[in-house]
Amino acid sequence: MTGSAQLLCSDGDPALLAQQLDAHWASGQTVAMATGLEHATLRAALPLELPKGLGPAVVLGTGGSSGRRRWCLQPLAHLEGAAAAAGQWLLALGLDPAGVELFNPLPIHHISGLMPLVRARRWGAPLRWLSPASMRDPARLAVEQPLPAGRRAVLAVVPIQLQRLIDHPAGLVWLRGFALIWVGGAGLTPALAEHCRREGLRLSPCYGSTETGAMVCALPPERFLAGVGGCGLALPHAALQLEPQSGALQIRACSLAAGFVEDGLWCPLSVDDGWWSSGDRAALSLGGLQVLGRLDGAINSGGETVFPEQVEQRLRQLARTEGVPLEDLLLVGCTDTLWGERLVALVRPGEGAPIDRLAALARRLPPSQRPQAWLSCPGLAPTALGKWDRSRWRAWAESSLEGQNRSV
């Protein structure tokens, strides 16, 4: 026992960890989970006592995409409310939650990997855990994890996992058998979305966070296949609105977290009349939610606000249209004496694609959106969950630029 929470290591067999979770929750305990590498950080974050009356709960890490690691406390009752709403959403699509089988390849210390367990418990549905090794070997996965004959199969993945599977013939065939594939955790690129539509994959792009108990909106597969973009409308337990000045997405839901633990202190979740601001800039329409980018990731370049994620998408589209091979691309904001901040491009180019060709394509963009420097980065890659640690790569870019200036 650490303070008022039971600290568990999420490394190892997820099925065994799920049994331990159930036992602690049955005793009304709060469980704090992290990988072995983050145990010491989590231990230091936990206060001696948590607020009373929360019931069984879980503490999970959050904030990786914004560069700030925080520890979020979610009461089990809130997560069960989110699971119930997801079940209602499935029923509206003609899928009986009790008649599905859930497939989960995501780590249990992440909200997207924990919620399949909560949903399975709530719905009375079987849950199958998929190992990271099998997800990296689609041929092995298709043999070891055949889809059930008497149940509709439902999968939750992040885009990087989806891309690996559709790039392999066996993985693509396996994906075609799913009645529903929730995709979240990071943005779905236009190229990947179109590929999945061509293959008839029943994708459901969704949006959520640790603070919201995972997804609060999702796009039905039929609408995805019809060419509709975005993340769909709010699930039954949630409501969405935009903050008028910043355009930040605000969420009200029964699944909102109770708060955070940080440096041994308890911090309740900051809400305004029940609404929590996500930090994502978004657009809302009759068709649903469109996420435009992180407000804390935006830069001010020459008086103009630039969202690196949007520029990345535009450059990827240009590269695809012009046939320029591109393995990965990340734009970060670095300090510039004239512009305040300017974009710097980190590139892992495809075979036979010099960076100069990409830089030439960028000249079609407005001046504030053109990277001032292009850096070859062979090790460039997102995290295992498909998110970018932008603070890490920004530091790498600034260090590389300083080294180039010293050598001139």
Query: Which domains are present in the chain?
Result: 5-292 (3.40.50.12780), 298-407 (3.30.300.30)
Q: Report residues of the chain scoring pLDDT below 70.
A: 1-3, 63-68, 302-305, 337-338, 352-353, 405-408
pLDDT in tens, 356-365: 888 899 988 8
Q: What is the pLDDT of residue 48?
A: 87
State the Cα–Cα distance between residues 155 and 14, nearest whole angstrom: 16
Q: Are strands 276-285 and 288-294 parallel, antiparallel or unpaired?
A: antiparallel
Residue type, 295: L
Q: What is the pLDDT of residue 349?
A: 76
159 vs 29, 218, 231, 280, 301, CA distance in Å? 34, 15, 14, 18, 30
State the Cα–Cα distance between residues 358 and 349, nearest whole angstrom: 9
Q: What is the pLDDT of residue 13?
A: 93
Q: What is the pLDDT of residue 404?
A: 74
pLDDT in tens, 55-69: 999 999 986 444 457
Q: Are strands 276-285 and 304-306 parallel, antiparallel or unpaired?
A: unpaired
Q: What is the pLDDT of residue 1?
A: 37
- DSSP lists the bridge partners of residue 267 as 260
Q: What is the pLDDT of residue 2?
A: 45
Q: What is the pLDDT of residue 65?
A: 40
Q: What is the pLDDT of residue 67?
A: 43
